[in-house]
């Protein structure tokens, strides 16, 4: 039997973060408030609260993040020590355009990312930049109700053109919207489309209609496509990708009704957005879905041409878990990434109830590649867990190392299956604020950060055991350290 193929030469290994979850310095150097600055902390069982004004009696964990804004040099040095050759990060829109509709960009914000990209390059790390990762300037929420308004298209274009021009020569890989497909759900609305004008209260009580959600997504498709086309025309060296939250679902039984239910779920949850962004047209099944959900999209002349002309170069996704879909009314529920779903009796779960399924990653990679045949990147994968620091300053996180190894093995199988996989960036290589719950105790990092949910902590960084496990995997390009 032939040897297993292994990861290709030049495979990208790294980690992924989002500006709002780690930078802190929320009101420094001219930055304007972003949506996330209006979210308090929550827990697994208590939703984050959204406030219209920033209240002095409440704690907003994103305001300080993990202070990356002042510590990025040391953090990137630690990433380099692990062997990263890619760092997926995002630009905070409100650091560049504090209100989102300002005439001129904020020079101090632009200069910050110059320093970050230069630092990456000095360490041989290729940045991959998400243009909008779960945030927008809060002013755009107040004025336009987020992506509900078409006005956002032009404002987003201006922001993107500004950063393209500034960072050409430093950044080649760009993603337009993080987990765009979550915009189809209420949970995704909070961060993704941000239609929360005037809303105060627990995040779980903010609701939108399907009409609002799919219209907002249409605006994002047009915005994304225009930006992709602009980049292709002006910066031929740029490569642009989408970003989907891929939550694989399995049918509960071989009952054909379960197969149909699962097909519908996969389309609505996982394929709808990427079919548009990869193929440049709405999929055939969209019409019926719109009709049956009372959705009437308002499109301007030229929208569909824009969508057709701005298809992406590579497909990226987050993968944390899988769910089950059934029609028999017997499925237990389980928690997950912005969605709850059916429980799978064959899988174990994390402390936060996300079902761990490395084989599902191999299965997903094969399904996605079969469908699109363009290069793929896994740009988020990871495990939120409760970590304990021993008295002598160690974190023995063998559970995280096991999770990592199992998913790298699954990717290696997928590569062997023929999938054109180009890179892997672990979510949260350094502990940061959780998007879903606002917690610090839900830790993903290979690097521990001494920061706690009550706001206390020294911000000191510690290498966990998993730091060295990932280092070994990267050094051998995924050939060693997987047993």
Of the candidates 179, 192, 252, 265, the residue annotated as catalytic is 179
Taking the CA atoms of 141, 143, 144 and 147 in sequence, report the sign of the dihedral they define: negative
| Spatial contact of 482 and 426, defined as CB atoms under 8 Å apart | no
Query: Nearest residue by C-beta to ligand BGP?
Result: 436
Q: Choose between 442 and 463: whose C-beta lies nearer to ligand BGP.
A: 442
| Spatial contact of 220 and 150, defined as CB atoms under 8 Å apart | no
- Those residues whose C-beta lies under 8 Å from the C-beta of residue 263, and which sit 6 or more positions away, are none
Nearest to 166 by CA among 96, 88, 81: 96
b/e map 96-122, b = 16+ CB within 10 Å: bbbbbbbeebbeebbebbeebbebbee
End-to-end CA gap in the chain? 21
Vertex 365: Cα angle to 359 and 371 (nearest 5): 135
Backbone φ and ψ of 420, nearest 5° = -85, 80
Residue 380 appears among annotated catalytic residues: yes
**What distance in Å separates the CA atoms of residue 244 and residue 256, rounded to the nearest whole number?**
27
Is residue 284 packed enough to be buried (19+ CB in 10 Å), middle (13-18) or exposed (0-12)? exposed
Nearest to 63 by CA among 42, 97, 96, 38: 38
**What distance in Å separates the CA atoms of residue 297 and residue 31, rounded to the nearest whole number?**
34
Residue 357 in tokens: 């399924």
Helix (H, G, I), strand (E, B) or coil at 137: strand
Q: Choose between 435 and 474: whose C-beta lies nearer to ligand BGP.
A: 435
Give me the residue label for tokens 């200069």: 111
**What distance in Å separates the CA atoms of residue 350 and residue 29, rounded to the nearest whole number?**
39
Q: Choose between 216 and 307: whose C-beta lies nearer to ligand BGP.
A: 216
Instruction: Provide, rounded to whole angstroms, the least separation between the CB of residue 435 and ligand BGP.
Output: 3
Instruction: Provide, rounded to whole angstroms, the least separation between the CB of residue 135 and ligand BGP.
Output: 10
Instruction: Provide, rounded to whole angstroms, the least separation between the CB of residue 469 and ligand BGP.
Output: 20
| Spatial contact of 252 and 315, defined as CB atoms under 8 Å apart | no
Q: Choose between 251 and 382: whose C-beta lies nearer to ligand BGP.
A: 382
Q: Choose between 47 and 109: whose C-beta lies nearer to ligand BGP.
A: 47
Determine the length of the chain.
Answer: 483
Q: Choose between 182 and 307: whose C-beta lies nearer to ligand BGP.
A: 182
Of the candidates 192, 380, 413, 439, the residue annotated as catalytic is 380
Q: Choose between 344 and 425: whose C-beta lies nearer to ligand BGP.
A: 425
Nearest to 152 by CA among 174, 184, 182, 176: 176
* Helix-strand-coil split of the chain, %, nearest 5: 40, 15, 45
Q: Choose between 178 and 270: whose C-beta lies nearer to ligand BGP.
A: 178
Q: Choose between 178 and 249: whose C-beta lies nearer to ligand BGP.
A: 178
Q: Which residues bind ligand BGP (CB under 6 A)?
A: 18, 21, 134, 178-179, 245, 318, 337-338, 380, 384, 427, 434-437, 442
Taking the CA atoms of 389, 84, 419 and 128 in sequence, report the sign of the dihedral they define: positive
Helix (H, G, I), strand (E, B) or coil at 477: coil
**What distance in Å separates the CA atoms of residue 229 and residue 206, rounded to the nearest whole number?**
34
- Those residues whose C-beta lies under 8 Å from the C-beta of residue 1, and which sit 6 or more positions away, are none
List active site positions.
179, 380
């Amino acid at each position: 039997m032939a040897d297993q193929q292994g990861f290709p030469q030049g495979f990208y290994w790294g980690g992924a973060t989002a500006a709002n979850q780690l930078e802190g310095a929320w009101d420094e150097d001219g930055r304007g408030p972003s949506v996330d600055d209006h979210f308090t902390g929550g827990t697994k069982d208590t939703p984050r609260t959204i406030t219209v004004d920033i209240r002095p009696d409440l704690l907003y964990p994103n305001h300080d993040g993990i202070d990356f804004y002042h510590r990025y040099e040391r953090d990137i040095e630690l990433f380099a020590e692990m062997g990263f050759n890619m760092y997926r990060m995002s630009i905070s829109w409100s650091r560049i355009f504090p209100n989102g509709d300002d005439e001129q960009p904020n020079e101090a914000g632009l200069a910050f990312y110059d320093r970050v990209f230069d630092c990456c390059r000095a360490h041989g790390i290729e940045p991959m930049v998400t243009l909008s990762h779960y945030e927008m300037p809060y002013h755009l929420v107040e004025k336009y109700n987020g992506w509900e308004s078409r006005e956002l298209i032009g404002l987003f274009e201006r922001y993107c053109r500004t950063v393209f021009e500034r960072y050409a020569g430093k950044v080649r890989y760009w993603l337009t919207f993080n987990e765009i497909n979550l915009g189809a759900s209420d949970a995704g609305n909070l961060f993704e489309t941000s239609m929360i004008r005037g809303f105060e209260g627990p995040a779980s009580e903010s609701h939108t209609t399907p009409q609002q959600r799919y219209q907002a997504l249409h605006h994002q498709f047009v915005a994304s496509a225009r930006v992709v086309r602009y980049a292709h025309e002006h910066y031929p060296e740029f490569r642009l990708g989408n970003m989907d939250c891929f939550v694989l679902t399995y049918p509960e039984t071989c009952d054909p009704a379960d197969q149909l239910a699962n097909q519908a779920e996969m389309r609505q949850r996982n394929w709808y957005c990427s079919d548009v962004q990869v193929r440049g047209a709405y999929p055939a099944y969209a019409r019926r879905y719109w009709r049956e959900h009372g959705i009437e999209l308002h499109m301007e002349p030229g929208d569909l041409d824009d969508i057709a002309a701005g298809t992406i170069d590579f497909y990226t996704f987050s993968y944390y878990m899988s769910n089950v879909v059934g029609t028999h009314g017997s499925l237990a529920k389980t928690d997950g990434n912005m969605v709850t779903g059916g429980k799978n009796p064959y899988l174990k779960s994390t402390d936060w109830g996300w079902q761990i399924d490395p084989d599902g990653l191999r299965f997903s990679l094969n399904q996605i590649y079969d469908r699109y045949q363009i290069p793929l990147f896994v740009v988020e994968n990871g495990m939120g867990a409760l970590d304990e620091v021993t008295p002598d300053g160690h974190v023995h996180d063998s559970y995280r190392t096991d999770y990592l190894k199992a998913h790298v093995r699954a990717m290696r199988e997928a590569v062997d299956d023929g999938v054109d996989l180009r890179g892997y960036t672990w979510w949260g290589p350094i502990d940061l604020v959780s998007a879903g719950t606002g917690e610090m105790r839900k830790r993903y990092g290979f690097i521990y950060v001494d920061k706690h949910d009550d706001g206390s902590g020294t911000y000191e960084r510690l290498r966990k055991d998993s730091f060295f496990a990932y280092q070994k995997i990267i050094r051998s390009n995924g050939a060693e350290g997987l047993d």
